[in-house]
Amino acid sequence: MQWRNVTVFLAGKCLRMATLLTALCLLSFFLLRLSPIDPVQAYVGADMLQVGPEQRARIAEYWGLDKPPVEQFLHWASAVVRGDFGTSMIFRRPVLSVIGERFGASLFLMGAAWLLSGLVGFTLGVIAGMRRDTWVDRMIKWYCCTLASTPTFWLGLLVLTVFAVWLGWFPVGMGVPAGLLAHEVTLGDRLHHLVLPVLTLSVLGVANVALHTREKLIDVLASDYVLFARARGEAGMTLFWRHGFRNVVLPALTLQFASFSELFGGAVLAEQVFSYPGLGQTIVEAGLRGDVPLLLGVVLFSALFVFSGNLIADLLYRIVDPRIREGAGV
């Protein structure tokens, strides 16, 4: 009974996602078509003077750019349905393989930052909530509010200046050491290059979760059952573990999953600062150099990424939370 409900819910969500993705395909395709940046020009780039009008026409024909936009869209869309996103103009490789490779690098970065910011943010929120209106609470609140107005890329630049340029502890950017062949790069090298971007992203990601957890915990602590528990003499960590933790952890977890969109945005900026070869840097390159197929691919992929985060958040509520589970089961 209960699982059937979850399945129905899941199917509804996926259907909605399908309509959204279709609209997104249409919208982004025609948005990009609207662009004054000429894709042939972008493709030719610096060789502008050596490419004559006939060659331009040939290139346009090769990419299918001489056909009417609707026909182009149908051509592209039917290819996408078959799993073919076309060829990236910058990398001269299939879009999907570029995205796959870059997303692998981004996944490390985003995953580590996500985990770290979640854990630290939750802990800070709990501390602030338990010690409400003390100096610890005010410090944490002030810190979180300041973080909310800090530009990600500026923090990245600061971290880079202090730890890479002045102290020299970490390399200045890039995903792997320069001048090494792919098989010579060790896991340690990769981790070494990952530390600063992860630090930047997780320092900023803390604010949201911490403030939210603090509010929730204050609500819980004001409830009647906590009042009763206090009357029985419970206090401190025991009180928190028995009555606070389970009520607070689920909203925090949901919030973390629902924040995939901000995580992606932060990663785009952080990857740019640290020249980290991830998906974020790819979309910037594709946009700046007019690589339409790659740009479309990354846009659709980021939509899928955000959607799966939101879906997990919804499912968590349905499956983990006994109140909603029971309610849905009736």
Partner 1 sequence: MNGSQFDMAAERPGRPLTGGICQPGFHRRHRMAGMVLLSALLLAGIVAGGILLGDSRVATHLDIRNAAPSLEYPFGTDWLGRDMLARTLKGLTLSLAIGLITATASVGIALVLGLMAATLGKTVDSCISWLIDLFLSLPHLVTIILISFSLGGGVKGVIVGVALTHWPSLARIIRAEILQLRSAEFVLTSRKLGRSRWWVATRHMLPHLVPQLYVGFVLLFPHAILHEAGVTFLGFGLSPQQPAIGIILSEAMRYLSAGIWWLAFFPGLSLLIMVRAFDVLGDNLRRLIDPHSAHE
Residues that bind partner 1 (CB under 8 A): 16-17, 19-20, 23-24, 27-28, 31-32, 34-37, 130-133, 145-146, 148-154, 157-158, 160-161, 165-166, 172, 221-222, 227, 230-231, 235-236, 239, 261-262, 264-265, 268-269, 272-273, 283-284, 287-288, 295, 298-299, 302-303, 306-307
For partner 1, the closer CB: 57 or 162: 162
Name which of 151 and 329 has its Cβ closer to partner 1.
151
Q: What minimum distance in Å lies between the beta carbon of 236 and partner 1?
A: 6
Nearer to partner 1, 137 or 325 (CB): 137
DSSP letters for 122-135: HHHHHHHHHTTTSH
Of the candidates 264, 270, 148, which has an alpha carbon nearest to the alpha carbon of residue 201?
270
Taking phi over 0 as left and psi of -120 to 50 as alpha, with beta for the rest, 180 belongs to beta
In angstroms, the CA 22 to CA 302 distance is 14
Nearer to partner 1, 194 or 217 (CB): 217
Three-class SS of 60-98 = HHHHCCCCCHHHHHHHHHHHHHCCCCCECCCCCCEHHHH
Q: Please, what is the minimum distance in Å from the beta carbon of residue 322 to partner 1?
A: 26
Q: Identify the DSSP state of 55.
A: H
Least CB distance to partner 1 at residue 58 (A): 25
The nearest distance, CB 164 to partner 1, in angstroms, is: 8
Closest approach of Cβ 88 to partner 1, in Å?
Answer: 16
Is 191 in contact with 108 (CB distance < 8 Å)? no
Minimal distance in Å, beta carbon 260 to partner 1?
8
Phi, psi of 134 (to 5 degrees): -95, 180
Q: Which is nearer to partner 1, 60 or 284 (CB)?
A: 284
Is the Cβ of residue 21 or residue 320 nearer to partner 1 in the bound state? 21
Determine the Cα–Cα distance for residues 239 and 244; give it in Å rounded to an integer: 7
Nearer to partner 1, 5 or 28 (CB): 28
Q: Is 314 helix (H, G, I), strand (E, B) or coil?
A: helix
DSSP letter at 16?
H
* Matching residue, tokens 């996408």: 80
